[in-house]
Amino acid sequence: MAEIVAVYEYHDEQDVLVYASVRFEPKAFRQGRPDGTGGLIWDMTGVRRVPYRLPDVIAAARAGQAVFVCEGEKDVDRLVSLGLTATTNAGGAGKWPPEFGEYLRGAHVVILPDNDGPGREHAQTVARSVHDVAASIKVVELPGLPAKGDVSDWLDAGHDVQELFAVARAASGWSPNAVEQWRKRQEQLRRKLARSRAKRKQEHERVTDDQEWRRRVDRAKAIPIAQIAVMLGLGTPQGNGKRRFVRCPFHQDEHPSLGLLDGENVWYCHPCGEGGTAIGLYERVKGVGFADAVQQLTTGR
Ligand SMILES: [Zn+2]
């Protein structure tokens, strides 16, 4: 028969008990929600998940202090007994939901992985979840930690808090791998593009009724695209006839592949799969909106 050896309570921001994680011997964990009379119901359906010791975590994060993330409530309690702020998730490695990252906004996050494969993977999950919100992130491999060891084992071996801080300070900051950096950059570009589209639309609406403005737009539209390409420093258009080419500034262009159609005054680039009007080309290369492009094309400033 399994015996209860520890009950770890999980509280929300208002310090209200949301659920508890119960440790049994032989080692097993089970989560339950309060039944209202001091007991637990072994059913977590619809129960909101929160990090361990959430009120302390939020206070420390807001104050820009260090928050240690361990694997398991036992380690957290150990660090808390030493005066640190620490947290974890119920259920061990692989159970840290990405949305927990938000609770650590502003904190200097120090992740202490258990010395095994799942522990290291878990540490990366935690690090990714706080990437956009933490003041700093360190994944700290404790020196001399035996296989499968954790921070409690490390402290039991005679190390102390001062040494823990020294090791954390010496560790280099965590950064996501190249794929994640690329994904993040793509997302930023997408947002930037959406913002500039919205801005352009606004500008369009603002100026639609302005007669003087309309004449100026017509003048800008009448400028031959080849002339605009030269103005933008894309080089002398190659080829002859209605279709000529310059180097595309939007991709690594070895041969001129950005086509200019003189008659329609439009451009396209097959490798990029993109194209548009002459004014649009100016906007893209200069990184300005429609109104600024027209202004610059017709006044030269
Ligand atoms: Zn291109």
Mean pLDDT of the chain: 91
CA of 193 to the centre of ligand 1 (A): 17
CA of 50 to the centre of ligand 1 (A): 48
CA of 256 to the centre of ligand 1 (A): 9
Averaged pLDDT, groups of 10, the chain, 301 residues long: 91 96 92 93 95 98 97 96 97 94 97 94 94 94 94 96 95 78 77 86 71 87 94 90 89 90 90 91 94 91 72
CA of 252 to the centre of ligand 1 (A): 7
Structure tokens at 25: 């011997």
CA of 185 to the centre of ligand 1 (A): 19
Scored b (16 or more CB within 10 A) or e, 148-165 reads: ebbbbbbbeeebeeeebe
pTM of the model: 0.60
Crossing angle between the packed helical segments 211-222 and 278-286, to the nearest 10 degrees:
90
CA of 269 to the centre of ligand 1 (A): 5
Structure tokens at 7: 């009950």
Q: In sequence order, which residues have a C-beta less than 8 Å from that of residue 192 and are 6 or more positions away?
A: none
Can you give the C-alpha Rg of the chain in angstroms? Answer: 30
Q: Which domains are seen in the chain, by residue range? A: 1-50 (no CATH), 51-196 (3.40.1360.10), 211-299 (3.90.580.10)
CA of 284 to the centre of ligand 1 (A): 12
